[in-house]
Structure 1
Amino acid sequence: MTAPLTAGNARVKEARKLHRRPERSGRRCFLADGPKAVEGALAEPGRVREVFATPAAAVEYAALLGDTPVTLVDERAMGGLSDSVSPAGLVAVCDFLDVALPEALDGRLVALCADVRDPGNAGTVIRTADAAGAAGVVLAGDAVDLYNPKTIRASVGSAFHLPIAVERDPAAAVRAAQAAGLTVLAADGGGEVDLFAADDLLARPTAWLFGNEAWGLPDELVALADHRVSIPILGRAESLNLATAAAVCLYASARAMMAG
């Protein structure tokens, strides 16, 4: 058996550079960290450029890897490739996966995130959209990098399951959704529509518009939406966090669409 590559190996060093956003953007590739992310990447033919694994992980995840060629690395090298506190020992170098905006809007249910900054939240919204049967996700505005390792890991493989578009202009994304025949519903605590009384509205093809974790949606973007929808707060909590609100809204739409 060939000896595992060390942290000083040139291939390991080149892959490690992908922790930096400019490097990812320039090379159009990123690191998928952990078994769920690697499994999702391997399910797409041609997506994976190289898989790095520790000898122990190569054995543990042999069924997942199948006949995929694997580059063995030692524990120290893997520690540099993974940004996880406890690396699983499996990282893949993958080609970018984002699609053009129209492809992400081609369906009955879409999550449109404006200025979402936290990679954990972005990844969780992607995972939730996938679970709720959404057709796509749009990360718009001054958003977190889709290819941040924390975003990919928080999606638990879902980043590879549905179309995701990146759009610099949130207003353009809203207008494109409307042009695609989607009703844009802004998730807004002060909305005039009660989520619990909106089944007829929710049964329509919908793009849910979610805002920044700290300050929500700007007024000018809310004004572009077709309706503002509020989630009833039944207890004493001030509000719901972004990922939870997205889950409630997306599943409310999924239920209404199935019932319709």
Structure 2
Amino acid sequence: MGNTQVKEARKLSRRSERSERRLFLADGPKAVEGALGVPGCVVQVFATPAATEQYADLAAAAERWTLVDDRALASLSDSVNPAGVVALCRFLDRPLEHVLDGDPRLVAICADIRDPGNAGTVIRCADAAGADGVVFAGHSVDAYNPKTVRASVGSLFHLPVGVDPEPASAVRAAQAAGLVVLAADGAGEVDLDEAGDLLARPTAWLFGNEAWGLPAELAALADHRVRIPIHGRAESLNLSTAAALCLYASARAQRA
């Protein structure tokens, strides 16, 4: 039983500890499977005996698989019903310029988004839409927050994730890389349903904070502001829902 290792791993529930050690926890079989698919990402896997039997294929793929009891495993998970397997992983993020290398066609830039579930869902949507990367800019939630990792359902390990402290510099870097920056903005001058030709171009979507959206000065840096039409009485859409619609609209246009 790796009680000492579990005690150290448990400290990674704190963002400061994750940032200092550049380590995080991936909870559940989908996350562990995704992490094992990235060479050098997984340091160690903690699992209960029952989970070891259930996920024998994961155990066979891991270099270090440590058996722990149910109580120790539960202390590493923030899930109501832990699946019994948690991976200790190295950070995956990279400088923004690396995310923008290689002529990307579709990127999501998240400026000051705070909700970890939204952040993970945006990563998942970007992955599903075939995007080339996701950037967390400004004072955004930690990409390695346990809720973010879980909400990404393994997609965190499928595409590049970048971090930039300044949303404005992220926008300018995307433009310098040849991407048209489209700000998702309810007051935008372009209707998403009428933006087919625009969406077919290499694009970086810019999404703002869940509560206050994009600051006017940041939205003004984008090449265009695009609104999602609201046909009913809803005031607006949830951030991750809006991101899914925008990213899939681009994916469809780019594949037409």
TM-score range, shorter chain: over 0.9
Flag structure 2 segments of 5+ consecutive residues without an equivalent: none
How many percent of aligned residue pairs carry the same amino acid?
74
* Ranges of 4+ aligned residues in structure 1 off by more than 3 Å: none
Q: Secondary structure at the match of 1:224?
A: coil
State how 1:91-240 maps to structure 2 within 5 Å. Answer: 91-106=86-101, 107-240=104-237
The amino acid of 2:29's aligned partner reads P
Shift of 1:65: 2.8
TM-score normalised over the length of structure 1: 0.95
Cα deviation for residue 103 of structure 1 reads: 2.1
Alpha-carbon distance between aligned partners in 1 of 2:110 and 2:143, rounded to the nearest angstrom: 12
- Measure how far apart 1:64 and its partner are: 2.8
Which of 45, 49, 70 is 1:51 aligned to? 45
Letter aligned with residue 186 of structure 2? G
Give the letter aligned to residue 121 of structure 1.
N
Q: Which moved more, 1:96-105 or 1:86-95?
A: 96-105
Secondary structure of residue in 1 paired with 2:255: helix
Which letter does structure 2 place at the counterpart of 1:25? S
Paired AA for residue 98 in structure 1: D
Using the size of structure 2 for normalisation, the TM-score is 0.97
Structure 1 position 255, deviation (Å): 0.5
Q: CA offsets, 1:44-80, max 9 Å, x none?
A: 1111100000111111111233242310000110111
Alignment correspondent of 2:68: 73
**Which SS does the other structure have where 2:218 is aligned?**
helix
Q: Which amino acid aligns with 2:56?
A: A
Aligned-pair Cα RMSD in Å = 0.9
Instruction: Extract unaligned runs of 5+ from structure 1.
Output: none
